[in-house]
Amino acid sequence: MDLKQTASHRFASAETELQEISHWMYHNPEIAFEEHNTSARLVEFLRNSGFEVEYPSFGLDTAFAARAGSQGPEVVICAEYDALPEVGHACGHNIIATAALGAGVALADAADQLGFRLRVQGTPAEESYGGKVDLINNAAFEGAALAMMVHPSPSNVVDPAFLCVAHTDVEFYGKESHAAFAPQLGVNALDAAVQAYVNISTLRQTLYNTDKVHGVINYGGGAANVIPAHTSMSWYVRAATPERLDELFGRVVACFEAAAKATGCTYEVKPFGHTYTDLISDPLLVELYLANSLALGRPMGRGADRDPGAAGSTDMGNVSHEVPSIHPMLDIDCAPAVNHQKEFAAATIKPAGDRAIRDGALGMAWTVIDVAAHNRWDELRAIKR
């Protein structure tokens, strides 16, 4: 029996349990940096599967590192498992996590046979803060030969485009007063927030299709009869390159400043989390994953064939600037639903979602086997700006 068949049999022995974990995650979502029960459940599976597990790992309470193999280049399979507020696992991190675990189980025997070290790395807080950037800063990817993960989607794409993103809050400060009796004595911070929103809406007509600016008002005041002295907004700013992101972020801050000046308020910009970079897909990993996915019955499209403006962001982009990486998107037959909708979350636990666990796990495992069995490590390359 060849190594890919062995990997398939190893995965098949755990497939039902992985589906159960994915469904459990769907029903028990935990948001960024609060994934305590989820990470514990994933760690339990990995320990029971024979991995040596470090938990917590690399300075993050809900991160883990599960290892197999004793020598050679290190392969890192990334597991995401944080959910979104209100809509739960509407980005399918339950599939991402269980596909990563499945790839780990499928590869564990091959690690010593082919002379590589395997690590399934738990990566918290992808949705908001950029846990992978914390892991990079804490040396989690130092010296790794390659890193990979898969992601559910409305379509199959092996090398999707992802945008850079910066996250920021902005606070406006004015002066409270009675809204009817003496409004002239107040300085309305809600007017500043509304004006900032209008300014950015006006800015959008000048943007490229790969520029994205979107935000919400988190706090608009406490009572309708009191002029609000404080309001708070959260914004995401996205662009195709780090250079464009810097330029666009400056224009967004100018919208905040103009709103403050127009209303007599002061303001404070408070960036949060980490800035995410664009994603670089390693050419060799793309080539191998394409062939392996086709062999699994899942033909993949190419990112170049898609609208570059129809893209989100991921902290896996930051990893891809450090380590040769791949981040394929797997169709879960969810159309017309898309990521971040409740209907998408529901699709993750239907048969197509369960199949994505299998196809993602084996697509990654077979790709690693191809690299290791044919000693193609030197063909991998990290492309840095």
pLDDT of the chain along its 385 residues, tens only? 599 999 999 999 999 999 999 999 999 999 999 999 999 999 999 999 999 999 999 999 999 999 999 999 999 999 999 999 999 999 999 999 999 999 999 999 999 999 999 999 999 999 989 999 999 999 999 999 999 999 999 999 999 999 999 999 999 999 999 999 999 999 999 999 999 999 999 999 999 999 999 999 999 999 999 999 999 999 999 999 999 999 999 999 999 999 999 999 999 999 999 999 999 999 999 999 999 999 999 999 998 677 776 789 999 999 999 999 999 999 999 999 999 999 999 999 999 999 999 999 999 999 999 999 999 999 998 554 3
Q: Are 96 and 54 in contact (CB under 8 A)?
A: no
H/E segment holding residue 331: strand 329-331
Q: What sections of 231-298 are H helices per DSSP?
A: 242-263, 283-295
- The pLDDT, as a whole number, for residue 185 is 96
**Do 3-162+278-379 and 164-271 fold alike per CATH?**
no
Q: For the chain, what are the domain ranges?
A: 3-162+278-379, 164-271
In the prediction, which pLDDT does 303 show?
A: 84
Task: For the domain made up of 164-271, give the CATH fold.
Answer: Alpha-Beta Plaits (3.30.70)
Number of Cβ within a 10 Å radius of residue 50: 12
What's the confidence (pLDDT) of residue 384?
Answer: 46
Compute the C-alpha angle 150/54/63, nearest 5°. Answer: 50
Contact assessment for residue 161 and residue 303, using Cβ atoms and an 8 Å cutoff: yes
pLDDT (0 to 100) of residue 304: 67
CA angle in degrees (0–180, nearest 5) for 272-32-129: 25
Q: Which two tokens stand for residue 220?
A: 């608009």
8-state DSSP, 377 = G
What's the CATH number for 3-162+278-379? 3.40.630.10
Nearest CA among 1, 3, 99 for reference residue 371: 3
Which residues, at least 6 apart from 349, have a Cβ–Cβ distance to it below 8 Å? 22, 23, 26, 94
This prediction has a pTM of 0.92
